[in-house]
Each structure stands twice: as C-alpha cells, then as structure tokens.
C-alpha cells in the first residue's frame, strides 16, 4: 500500500519506518526541512534504539522516502497517518490542536482521489468527528474518511512497540476503512495481535484512558511512598507485595521521582480539560490529584536534598545523574530530573548534570545548568549526588571509586534502582525516596 506519515517526531519517524518494514511504500512528511534531510540520509533526529537501522534498511530497499510537502503527500498516499504533536496549549491545560488542524488544511485541498486519513496523535475526544466535517468542507473529492488509530508506543522501546504492539485499536465509520486498516496492519495481525475495531470516539478515548490509568498507577505508589517516608516503612517490598496480586500487577508501580515526558503529564491535563468542556469534569477531578502528587515528588526530592546538606542549598556542589525524562531516551520534555536540577540551582546550589544521551537537548531547555557526558566528571567535588534518571549504566557505577572523587560520599536515589546496600558498604550515606534512612 502507499502510505504517508505526516509528522516525523518520536511517534511519526518510527511509525513511518515501521510501516515500510511491514512492506508498504511510505512517504514521511514534516515541515522541518533539517529533520527530513536527516531522515532521508538514514539518521534518526533523536535517540531511539533500533531506529537508525530500521530507517537505513527501508531506505535502501526503496520503500521509505521523505518530503516536506503536503502536496507530495496528497499525491502519494492512499492512507495518510497524522502523527503530529498535540502539546499543552500555552496558558491552558487543554491540548493545542493547531498542528493537527494545519495538516488537514494543508493536505485535504490537494487530494485528487479517495483515501483514508488516520489520526494517531493523542487528541481530545470528538476530534475525529470535527476533522471529518473539516475534510468534507475542504476536500475536492468525495470518499475521504477520517479514522482514529491511537498509538501506545513507549520511547526507548518504540521500534518494538510499533512492530509488535500489545494491541491495535482502530476507530472507523465504515467497513471499508476497517478493511483498509486490517490490510495496513496485516503483517502484525498475522502474529495474533488483538485488534479492537470500534467507533472513532471510543478509539480516541482508549488512548487518553490508558495514559490516565498509567499515570494513576505511578502517582498511587508515590503517594504510598510518602506515607512510608513519614513512618519509616519501605516502599520497595510494599510495591513488590502489591504487584504479586495479579489484579494489580507489578508494572508501572516503580516508586520514585514520578512521571514526565511529552505524553503522560499533558495528556492527563488535556483529558480533564476536555471532560470539563463536556460538563463532566467532576468525575475526573482525581486526575488533578494525580498530577499534583506527581509534581510534588520533585519538591520532595529538593527538600530531601536540602535536608541531606544540613538545611541549606546555598553554594553547595551537587551532582545530578540523569537529564532525560526516562532512560533510553534523549527526550527532556517535562523531565523530572531537569526540573529538580533547575530548582536546586535556583536555591543557590552549583549543579552539574550528567546524561549519556540527553545533554544536548537538556542544554537547549535549561542553558544555565552545567553539563557533562563523562560520568567521573559529574562526581568531582560533589557534596551530594542525586540519582534522578535510572539509566542502566548508573547501576554499574563503582561507589568505592566514586568516593575518591567526591567531597562527601552522600547520595539520594530518587529512582530506587541503585543497590543501596552496596553503596552503603562502600562508605556512602544513602537516602532513597520512600525507603527508611539510616
């Protein structure tokens, strides 16, 4: 099939390469000429394990091309996937739909034959219906349908999640659109992947409900973590014990600094904003608490750091491990790690941040912080170290060696993934969020 993927960010670039891998002829489209140039030469514009290989393989097979032109897209595709961002609207908690709308306004007047437009972006419920009206007004041809097919990929695992998803969800308004999407995903459906075909509003809601549930799970365990801190109990065995209950499950129950990134935080806010617009905000107000518990973790980390330094952050040298919002990503959007680092700096601390992949993006977002990509450098002279993003390589650090570099062997594990007994045995004073101090 001839498929276009419009928007080549964290979602679209992987989706384009994934569709080509399934054997389709794919045109990826973006307004960012530099990004298109990078992708055309087989370079991923962001860090995503496995993506460069997938791009190169499919570009050389002749199945994957890129363009900046929506006119090219209109001519090329029988199925057009919309993968542009829906960030938080400035000054509001609602989603900003300007990029999605711009795609429809730029694509549809150029269409010359029937096709299927499939939204993948995370949107307020009702968007597909609204876009269908817009399409009917703008399209020079009839038989252009709007479907919704939410994406559940996780950054860092995006290639695997695209090619081997847990489930496929499609919202359609005709059997023909359903048949087209089954054909698009035939390679995945052959593997027995669950396929849920429903109406467009339900498909839109599946995505925001999934993100709201995941965020709730994380904030739930973090709220319990605060109770643990208050009474000297230990959140890790508690979470393990909860997770053994098959009805609860152990995933997304990792206590620590909480969630960030370009999806969960803004998606729960936009979900609540949409519910309020619909007059049923009352039922979803718990999402405001989920958000508040999450943001509060960052303040808790700053308070713990201040306490570990004897009550003042002024002129103290602090090493921060991690800048990305989570490991295996260079994405720093709403990064809890950088938010804490910036808060410490604003209280007068001298902060140096290490990250294996995200330093360049971090520098763009927080230019006033100091950065290094050498792990030994971040420890040099530090009076306190904060472990804020749980990169695998931090688990392999040698605390005995690092204690020779720091001014004080003192660490806060805000992600609960370090072997704190090992660090303590090497002479470090260790605090971990939600775990008893010593």
The least distance separating ligand UDX from the CB of residue 224, rounded to whole angstroms, comes to 13
Please tell me the distance from the alpha carbon of residue 434 to that of residue 436, in angstroms, as a whole number.
Answer: 7
The smaller minimum CB distance to ligand UDX, of residues 267 and 383, is found at 267
* Main-chain dihedrals φ then ψ at residue 146, nearest 5 degrees: -110, 125
Q: In what order do the strands lie in the sheet with 350-354?
A: 370-372, 350-354, 317-321, 384-387, 410-413, 429-432
Please tell me the distance from the alpha carbon of residue 3 to that of residue 246, in angstroms, as a whole number.
Answer: 40
The least distance separating ligand UDX from the CB of residue 108, rounded to whole angstroms, comes to 26
The least distance separating ligand UDX from the CB of residue 167, rounded to whole angstroms, comes to 11
The least distance separating ligand UDX from the CB of residue 120, rounded to whole angstroms, comes to 10
Show the tokens assigned to 188.
């995945």
Please tell me the distance from the alpha carbon of residue 154 to that of residue 433, in angstroms, as a whole number.
Answer: 25
The least distance separating ligand UDX from the CB of residue 31, rounded to whole angstroms, comes to 22
The least distance separating ligand UDX from the CB of residue 155, rounded to whole angstroms, comes to 4
The smaller minimum CB distance to ligand UDX, of residues 38 and 121, is found at 121
DSSP lists the bridge partners of residue 385 as 319, 411
The smaller minimum CB distance to ligand UDX, of residues 326 and 431, is found at 326
- For ligand UDX, the binding residues (CB under 6 A) are 151-155, 211, 214, 218, 252-254, 256, 258-261, 263-264, 325-326
Task: Rounding to the nearest 10 degrees, give the CA dihedral for residues 206, 177, 136, 4.
Answer: 90
Q: Residue 48: which residues within 8 A CB-CB, separation 6 or more?
A: 10, 13, 14, 155, 156, 158, 159, 329
The smaller minimum CB distance to ligand UDX, of residues 81 and 259, is found at 259
CB atoms within 10 A of CB 202: 15
The smaller minimum CB distance to ligand UDX, of residues 13 and 253, is found at 253
The least distance separating ligand UDX from the CB of residue 341, rounded to whole angstroms, comes to 15
The smaller minimum CB distance to ligand UDX, of residues 10 and 428, is found at 10
What sign has the CA pseudo-torsion 128, 25, 188, 331?
negative
The least distance separating ligand UDX from the CB of residue 258, rounded to whole angstroms, comes to 5
Catalytic option among 115, 228, 263, 410 = 263
CA distances from residue 239 to 53, 251, 254, 336, 419 in whole angstroms, order as listed: 37, 10, 7, 21, 17
Please tell me the distance from the alpha carbon of residue 350 to that of residue 245, in angstroms, as a whole number.
Answer: 44
Instruction: Give helix 286-308 / helix 336-346 axis angle, nearest 10°.
Output: 50
Q: Please say if 410 is a catalytic residue.
A: no
Give, as one character, the DSSP assignment of residue 173: S
Nearest of 143, 201, 146, 156 to residue 326 by alpha carbon: 156
Contact 371, 353 (CB under 8 A): yes
The smaller minimum CB distance to ligand UDX, of residues 106 and 256, is found at 256
Task: Rounding to the nearest 10 degrees, give the CA dihedral for residues 365, 329, 124, 150.
Answer: 160
Instruction: Give helix 286-308 / helix 200-231 axis angle, nearest 10°.
Output: 40
The smaller minimum CB distance to ligand UDX, of residues 17 and 107, is found at 17
Catalytic residues: 263
């Amino acid at each position: 099939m001839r498929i276009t993927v419009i928007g080549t960010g964290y979602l679209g670039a992987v989706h384009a390469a994934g569709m080509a891998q399934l054997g389709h002829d794919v045109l990826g489209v973006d307004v960012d000429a530099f990004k298109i140039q990078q992708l055309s030469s087989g370079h991923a514009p962001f860090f995503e394990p496995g993506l460069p290989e997938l791009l190169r393989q499919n570009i050389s097979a002749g199945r994957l091309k890129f363009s900046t032109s929506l006119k090219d897209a209109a001519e090329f595709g029988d199925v057009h996937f919309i993968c542009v961002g829906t960030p938080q609207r400035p000054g509001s908690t609602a989603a900003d739909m300007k990029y999605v709308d711009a795609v429809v306004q730029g694509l549809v007047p150029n269409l010359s034959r029937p096709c299927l437009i499939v939204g993948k972006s995370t949107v307020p419920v009702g968007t597909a219906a609204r876009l269908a009206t817009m399409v009917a007004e703008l399209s020079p041809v009839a038989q252009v349908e709007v479907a919704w097919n939410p994406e559940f990929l996780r950054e860092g695992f995006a290639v695997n999640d695209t090619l081997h998803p847990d489930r496929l969800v499609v919202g359609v308004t005709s059997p023909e659109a359903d048949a087209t999407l089954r054909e698009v995903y035939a390679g995945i459906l052959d593997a027995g992947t669950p396929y849920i075909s429903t109406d467009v509003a339900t498909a839109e809601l599946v995505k925001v409900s999934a993100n709201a549930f995941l965020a709730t799970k994380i904030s739930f365990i973090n709220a319990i973590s605060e109770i643990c801190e208050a009474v000297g109990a230990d959140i890790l065995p508690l979470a393990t014990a909860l997770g053994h209950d098959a009805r609860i499950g152990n995933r997304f129950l990792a206590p620590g600094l909480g969630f960030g990134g370009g999806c969960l935080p803004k998606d729960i806010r936009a979900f609540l904003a949409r519910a309020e617009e619909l007059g049923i905000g009352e039922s979803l107000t718990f999402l405001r608490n989920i958000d508040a518990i999450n943001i509060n973790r960052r303040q808790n980390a700053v308070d713990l750091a201040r306490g570990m330094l004897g009550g003042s952050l002024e002129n103290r040298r602090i090493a921060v491990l991690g800048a990305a919002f989570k490991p295996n990503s260079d994405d720093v959007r709403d990064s809890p790690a950088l938010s804490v680092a910036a808060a410490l700096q604003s209280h007068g601390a001298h902060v140096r941040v290490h990250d294996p992949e995200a330093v360049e993006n971090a520098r763009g977002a927080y230019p006033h912080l100091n950065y290094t990509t050498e792990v030994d450098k971040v420890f040099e002279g530090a009076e306190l170290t904060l472990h804020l993003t749980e990169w695998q390589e931090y688990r392999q650090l040698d605390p005995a060696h690092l204690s020779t570099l720091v001014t004080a062997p003192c660490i806060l594990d805000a992600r609960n993934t370090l072997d704190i007994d090992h660090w303590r045995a090497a002479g470090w004073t260790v605090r971990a969020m939600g775990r008893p101090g010593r």
